[in-house]
Chain A
Amino acid sequence: GQQLNQSPQSMFIQEGEDVSMNCTSSSIFNTWLWYKQDPGEGPVLLIALYKAGELTSNGRLTAQFGITRKDSFLNISASIPSDVGIYFCAGQGGSQGNLIFGKGTKLSVKP
C-alpha cells in the first residue's frame, strides 16, 4: 500500500529555535494535512494544503505542498514549550481515497 515517509522521527530543540519537518511519498496526493497530537489526546488539524506549490501559514507555523505533489514540509518558527507533541503529516488522494498518515515527528522543546 501507499506509504508516507516522515522525518525526522524525533527532534530535541532549544526554546526559540526554528523547526522543520517533512513528508515524502512515492505517490501523488491531492491534499496534504498537518496535525499535532498532545499526549493522550486526538490529533488536532494545524494546516490543510490543496494545491501543488501552495504555501500556507497559521501563526508561527508554515507548510507547503510540494510542486511534485509527492512531498510537504512544516516549519515552526521561534519554538515555545507548548509546541511539544507529535506532529503528523497526512496525504489524501490515493486509489482508495482515504487519508494516509506518516509515523509522526516527536518534538521536544527545552526551556
Chain B
Amino acid sequence: DGGITQSPKYLFRKEGQNVTLSCEQNLNHDAMYWYRQDPGQGLRLIYYSQIVNDFQKGDIAEGYSVSREKKESFPLTVTSAQKNPTAFYLCASSPPLWSGAEAFFGQGTRLTVV
C-alpha cells in the first residue's frame, strides 16, 4: 500500500542529545514537510523540501536540521540546540507545490525529552 511512514511512534531522549526522526513515503511525491504540534498551537512548519537535495526553512527551523538525499526520505534531526523539543512531530508529503495538490500525513512521532 502507498503511504507515508513515520518512526518511531514514541521516542524518549535525554536532554542534550540529538535525535533523528524518520519519515519515508512511497507515494512518489516531490514535496515533503515537517511540522511540530503543541497543544492548542496547531501545526507549525519546521522545514520543507520541494525536490531532492533542496530544502527550505519554515517558521520554526531553529534547533532542527534535515536532509533530502532521496526522494522517498526526509529525516528530521532535533538537535540539542532546540530549547523545548518535547512535542508531537508530523511529516507530510505532496505532489509539487505548484500543482496545488493535497498533502498526506504520517502517523506522527511523539518525542519526549527528559
Number of B residues contacting the other chain (C-beta, 8 Å)?
Answer: 29
A/B pair count, beta carbons within 8 Å: 61
Contact B108 A97 (CB under 8 A): no
Chain A residue with Cβ nearest B107:
A42
B contact residues around A6 at 8 Å (CB): 42
Q: How far is the CB of B46 from chain A (nearest CB, A)?
A: 11
A contact residues around B105 at 8 Å (CB): 35, 42-44
**A71 to B35, alpha carbons, bound, how many Å?**
23
Interface check B40, CB cutoff 8 A: yes
B97's partner among A1, A50, A92 (CB-CB below 8 A) is A92
Q: Which residues of B contact A (CB under 8 A)?
A: 6, 33, 35, 40-43, 45, 48, 50, 56, 58-59, 88, 90, 92, 94, 97-98, 100-108, 110
